[in-house]
Structure 1
Amino acid sequence: MLIPVVGTLQECASEKSFRIVIQTEGMIKDLVKNLNSENDELQMHCASAIFKCAEDKQTRDLVRKYKGLKPLVSLLSKEDNKELLAAATGAIWKCSISMENVDELQKYKALETLVHLLTDEPEDVLVNVVGALGEFAQIPANKAIIRKCGGIKSLVNLLTGTNQALLVNVTRAVGACATDMENMVIIDQLDGVRLVWSLLKNPNADVQSSAAWALCPCIENAKDAGEMVRSLVGGFELIVNLLKSTNNEVLASICAAIAKIAKDKENLAILTDHGVVPLLAKLTNKTDDRLRRHLAEAICHCCMWGTNRASFGDAGAVAPLATYLMSNDKAVHQSTAMALYQLSKEPNNCITMHQKGVVKPLIHFMGSDDEMLQEATAGCVRNIRTLCLANRQAQDQ
């Protein structure tokens, strides 16, 4: 009786309206209870229903409350039943989006078991296992566990696959692991950065953006990042061309990666030769705050070469950047102020900023608790003020 009932429920759980009812009618408790049954098919349907419902934070909390995490981990031992394994790993992946659940899952050594499942499993299982690893790796101690269990090599090996859902999860997991210096050494030795970079060619926008986000910690933590990036044949062309994408998430991730690459002067010179300045300037009319934040950061770092500051002004980037100060996002304020400060070292840009009324909001931000924001806004106002005074003195003479 239970098998067709729960089977019907888990099919229905693909629809959001049903997931809400499953949660509000108290069915999560029953699903967890039946995870402990002796019947594989019933367990599979229960785990599958949790997998679909655990997108929602309240459901994830309920699974923990009703002690559902331990039986889910115990199901990982049923490697012979691939359908059940896919459902269990999926439920663990979605439950691990909540860090409280990751702590609980680690009491039952879930991470070590998941790393063990990174080889010789069907793709639907791998997508879920790697998705879970990406969540577990948000906690610093877990990055070391993944390394000690040999997980970095297994993850890098999966970067050569073709399954797009798997590639999105693998790049995310590799990026999360790359924030640990010891992990980064292994990723570098295994040619992992080149493999992630080559995924920027993938036609799928989710894969492109996930790969670009993963490149950011790789570039930041590589031993000789500048040389590493230069060694990638066609790498600059590939990343600059993606600034023509129509997808905001791709654009935000590419801008974030460019900000990291541009910290190396030689690489910034190459980016400039590839026409990065007009392409970044063209994006300044976007309204998406996540994109604006990383775009302003990229512009700030790209100002540090040759005549780029003047080129941004000539390309019309200054006036739209000034409007970013009206955003409600504090991260946008910080990166915009830093970009405007760099741009304000060019007199013509100061004139544009003054005309666009940036002084008032900049003075307001000087009172911020954020020291970087204070410093950037003060420097920008000083540069505008210095130019105004110089003009006035010239007119008086």
Structure 2
Amino acid sequence: MTSRRASLQPPGRDSIITSSEERRRSSIRMSHTQVENFRISDDDQLIEDGEDAEEEEDEDDDEEEEDLYQLDFQSPELSTDYWQIHKLVKYLKVGTATCTTIALVGLKDSGLDREVCQLALKMVGGLEVLLNILRTSNLRCNIGALQVLEAACGHVSTRATVYKLGGLQVLQGLVEHSQVKVRGLAASVLAQVCGLPSARSALIRDGGVPKLVALLRADAAAMQSNSEVAASVEGAARALWACSVSRMGRAAFLRAGGLEMVGGLLVGSRTALLVPIVGIIHQCITEAVFRERVEAAGYTSALVRLLHSSSPQLQVLATKALARCSVLEATSERLVREGGLEVLVSLLAREATTYTDAIIEKDPAFARESGMIGEPPGVPRSRKASVMPDTSSSIGVGGSAQTPAGSLMPDTCLEGTKVDMEVSGDPEASDQNGGSGQAPGDSELLEAVSEAIWHVSLLPNHVAAVKDLTAVPILVALLHHNDEKVLTNVVGALGELAGDPECCIILLRGGGVTTLIQLLRRTSDKLLLNVTRALGSCAADEDALSALLQQDGLRLLWSHLKNPNSRIQASAANAICTCLQQETEGLAEVVRSLVGGIELLVSLLESESEAVLSAVCAAIAKIARDPQNLAIMTDYGAVTSLSKLAVRENDTLRPYLAEAIAACCVSRETGLLFGQAGAVAPLVQYLETNDSTIRRPTCRALHRLSLEPENCITLHQSGAVPLLLEMLGSEDEVVQEAAADCLRNIRLLALFRCKTSNRSSRVTSRGSLSVRR
């Protein structure tokens, strides 16, 4: 049997590729273009590692992989392995059952884990013969053929050929075989073949998922006593893991009752079985319906226990599953309640040793104050080469000069479902790589741990728990990590923690604000979204805001208002709004000094995103406090744009829009412009809601608009008086005062018009009386 390195990918998604030295030793002759074809093209890698959404569209386009591996038959020199496999396949074709069995044993021992032997088996027609043997009723031949296919299907080309030859239907039939060993081997081969999207789609379409789920129904005692039963369940679990990558596969798995079967197997202790079981859960909880069912069934408690596993592969998968599921409040609370958060922080400290050691060397005083000095229990600390920039400036300077983001891992989808990195099952692997940086799996484990801590920190009552475990300085140290996905999660966690004043001070003291400002120069949308949010949280602190302004952070935030991603625009505008909330001297002048900044902000009032509009209106309300800035915004058409938005029936936008209009109406001239633009009548309708967050700014806006007589007429005609009278009974004193002042202005105008009308009528009557005389 082939021995493979433990992988975090679903089965069949990693091709076995030999080293360059082994290829050079092979005597198979290939042309230059044929050697180039040995490498899987980018399109094939996207098919193998594409996102879930793209898989559904591309699954039927896989008719597909052309034969990329062609031997040059013109060469007179073929390897000994080739002729050996050729001879064994010839015996398979013409021999008796006994001869066939012996040939299968020979093929099994011929080194099919090597790429050259796999291609040779394919070229001499061995795969067709093996599939024909599976159609027979000879048990020994069936088992031998399945064992050979299991070893040979490690190569993507072999899997594609098996699928094209109709092997999927043959294997599905053997999954229901009467012999347990045959069922297990068939499921194991299916797990590898289903690494192809087209094969996976065909298996799901043909109803293969319920058959695989049926194999999971095995008694725990039988699995302990019978290794063949355990192998059968393990093979079915790996096949279902491969199918769960697809949305169709997850739906079929749920319909077949597979989630309950998988949950029952989580209590086992067999690592080889737990890995695919946790892998299935990790893939399934991509969707909300699965997350809720997993949490309701209590399976997350088993995942928390698996965080203590000695298997690195199982530990990483359990962490990634919990990271996805922790977006649920119940799962997040369970993590804190059952001690999972302590384990996550311990893993974070262990994997971030290089970065924490570097920050301790740079600033021992900060390390002592933040609690970084002092060994966490069970977490050995080893000195490694510093990854911090060696400059005379503060800790954060130079963070962007590190290796480009994403250098440790290839780009994957948002959820991180498909990763090419492999984690060795040997616990000593990390020690062997200790002298040359991080082990290959470090970034993947750090990504999962930091994501879980980020999701736990989303609840305000968990921030204190994270802070008490001294996780904040470790996260600050990880701001210098090279992997973009790790950075995204770390910044997201710090953005939630920075709302706590003590955490914000730690972030500032450790140079985190400086590093966050430098990260604004990155291009990743996910990272930029979290960085702008984190800086917005930091800006609520005066010292952090001062550091942000000194290091040109406001200008960089403003520049992201031009970002094509509307979510980044809204997040940057919110961060700017938080900066402008502070009454910092000279801040209005800084805003004016940004060339084209106010014009850019006003232009975003034409955006189609409600989040962007709300954030921009909130920022305009702060900028309008300065008369000069208000005049500049008025020149750029802010009054007209705000008036057009008044007719929007969006309760999220309305309070910010009303606040912006109230802030702009500091003079009667501006109020007149709003009245002429038609903003008064729509604002009256805002008073019909019971939401106090909308009523308060609306009353303030109507009060300031009522300073202009023409607006008072519009208010009266729009039926504002009864609504304002109702506002007088509000418990909010600001609402009461604003409504009373607005009614007073309307009443004064009515009295004035009444006096004017009476005076004019008297003059008219006197004039007519004199004419009669």
SS at match of 2:520: helix
Structure 1 distance, partners of 2:696, 2:613, is 19
Indicate conservation of the 8 Å contact 2:687/2:723, yes or no: yes
1:174 paired with 2:535, answer: yes
Number of residue pairs matched by the alignment: 397
Matches within 5 A, 1:200-219: 200-219=561-580
Range with bigger deviation, 255-264 or 296-305: 296-305
Aligned partner of 2:516 in structure 1 is: 155
Report how far residue 359 of structure 1 moved.
Answer: 1.6
1:367 paired with 2:729, answer: yes
2:476 to 115, 127, 140: 115
1:241-295 alpha-carbon deviations (Å, 9 max, x no partner): 1000011000000000011111111100111111100000000011111211001
Range with bigger deviation, 386-395 or 173-182: 386-395
1:303-344 alpha-carbon deviations (Å, 9 max, x no partner): 124621101000000000110111232111011111101100
Structure 2 distance, partners of 1:102, 1:220, is 24
Report how far residue 117 of structure 1 moved.
Answer: 0.5
Report how far residue 106 of structure 1 moved.
Answer: 1.2
Matches within 5 A, 1:347-386: 347-386=709-748
Report how far residue 191 of structure 1 moved.
Answer: 0.2
Aligned partner of 1:59 in structure 2 is: 331
Aligned partner of 2:148 in structure 1 is: none
Aligned partner of 1:331 in structure 2 is: 693
Which runs of 5 or more residues in structure 1 are unaligned?
none
Matches within 5 A, 1:34-113: 34-76=306-348, 77-79=350-352, 80=438, 81-113=442-474
Aligned partner of 1:4 in structure 2 is: 276
Aligned partner of 2:598 in structure 1 is: 236
Indicate conservation of the 8 Å contact 1:265/1:305, yes or no: no
Report how far residue 63 of structure 1 moved.
Answer: 1.4
Structure 2 distance, partners of 1:262, 1:241, is 16
Structure 2 distance, partners of 1:50, 1:13, is 9
Aligned partner of 1:131 in structure 2 is: 492
Q: Which has the higher helix share?
A: 1
1:195-242 alpha-carbon deviations (Å, 9 max, x no partner): 000000000000000000000111222432110101101101110110
Residues 52, 299 of structure 1: alpha-carbon distance in 2 compared, 3 angstrom cutoff: same
Structure 2 distance, partners of 1:68, 1:194, is 41
TM-score by length of 2: 0.51
Structure 2 distance, partners of 1:140, 1:371, is 30
Structure 2 distance, partners of 1:334, 1:46, is 48
Structure exhibiting the larger radius of gyration computed from Cα positions:
2
Aligned partner of 2:663 in structure 1 is: 301
Structure 2 distance, partners of 1:47, 1:96, is 16
Which runs of 5 or more residues in structure 2 are unaligned?
1-272, 353-437, 760-773
Aligned partner of 1:321 in structure 2 is: 683
TM-score by length of 1: 0.98
Report how far residue 112 of structure 1 moved.
Answer: 0.9
Aligned partner of 1:28 in structure 2 is: 300
Structure 2 distance, partners of 1:365, 1:142, is 41
Indicate conservation of the 8 Å contact 1:268/1:305, yes or no: no
| Residue identity opposite 2:552 in structure 1 | D
Residues 133, 320 of structure 1: alpha-carbon distance in 2 compared, 3 angstrom cutoff: same
Indicate conservation of the 8 Å contact 1:310/1:349, yes or no: yes
Report the RMSD for the aligned CA atoms in angstroms: 1.2
Residues 143, 223 of structure 1: alpha-carbon distance in 2 compared, 3 angstrom cutoff: farther
Indicate conservation of the 8 Å contact 2:342/2:469, yes or no: yes
Structure 1 distance, partners of 2:709, 2:319, is 63
Matches within 5 A, 1:218-233: 218-221=579-582, 222-233=584-595
1:340-391 alpha-carbon deviations (Å, 9 max, x no partner): 0110000111111111111222222222222221221111111111111111
Structure 1 distance, partners of 2:620, 2:565, is 20
Indicate conservation of the 8 Å contact 1:269/1:305, yes or no: no
Indicate conservation of the 8 Å contact 2:467/2:503, yes or no: no
SS at match of 1:75: helix
Range with bigger deviation, 68-77 or 314-323: 68-77
Indicate conservation of the 8 Å contact 1:41/1:84, yes or no: no
Report how far residue 396 of structure 1 moved.
Answer: 2.3
Structure 1 distance, partners of 2:595, 2:647, is 32
Structure 2 distance, partners of 1:333, 1:44, is 50
Report how far residue 59 of structure 1 moved.
Answer: 1.6
SS at match of 1:373: helix
| Residue identity opposite 1:52 in structure 2 | R
Range with bigger deviation, 186-195 or 384-393: 384-393
